[in-house]
Amino acid sequence: MQEECPAEGLLKMLSGKWKPQIFRLAQDGPLRFNSLLRQLKGASKQSVALALKELETAQLLDKNVVRLKPLHIEYALSEKGRELIPVFRQLELLV
């Protein structure tokens, strides 16, 4: 059996309608869910929530619960996610 190419694994992690855009937006700093939803024109709450969960599971995003009133959640690129920024820039996916 042939092993999966590392690039193919990365593309699978970032495949989907909203994940590349979320990844691009997260490079500028932490994102709150509603702010992200406003920036992703046409995205549903469910599709964005699923994309965030999948990026978190892939360890590309960190989820941080900010215990201020009102309580809110921020998503930021993880160390692993930040390491991928130069790769995306090389591919001209990030501007």
Q: What are 60-85's pLDDT values in tens digits?
A: 999 999 888 888 899 999 999 999 88
* pLDDT, position 88: 77
Percent of the chain with pLDDT over 70: 89
Cα 52 to Cα 18: distance, rounded to the nearest angstrom: 9
The separation between the first and the last C-alpha atoms of the chain, rounded to the nearest angstrom, is 38
Strands 72-77 and 31-32, by their bridges, are: antiparallel
Cβ-based neighbour number of residue 3 at 10 Å: 7
pTM reported for the whole predicted model: 0.82
* pLDDT, position 9: 73
Domains, the chain, in order of start with CATH, read 6-90 (1.10.10.10)
